[in-house]
Amino acid sequence: MTICETQRLVIRPLSIDDVPVLSEIFSDDEVMKYSIRGVCYEAATREFIKWCLQCYDSYGLGSNR
């Protein structure tokens, strides 16, 4: 499901299929140097996405509801 789309950007809900790519981003020291949690590896990324999915279901965040 696409929430919003421009020429260069597609906003959509996260899915568990995003773990590999998001893990690559979250595990980069330079990308995460200002993050409160710091670098996150695959297990932490998977938990983050699961939390996001729970928020979608519980609160409608990230959805068209």
pLDDT tens digits, residue range 7-65?
999 999 899 999 999 999 999 999 999 999 899 999 999 999 999 999 988 887 655 44
Domains identified in the chain, total number: 1
30 located within any domain: yes
Per-residue pLDDT at 65 = 47
Per-residue pLDDT at 60 = 78
65 located within any domain: no
* C-alpha 65 chain-centroid distance: 19
Per-residue pLDDT at 62 = 57
18 located within any domain: yes
Q: Where do the DSSP E strands lie in the chain?
A: 4-5, 10-11
The two tokens of residue 36 are 């409160």
| Domain extent for 19 | 13-59
Q: Is the pLDDT of residue 3 over 60?
A: yes
Supply the mean pLDDT for the chain: 90
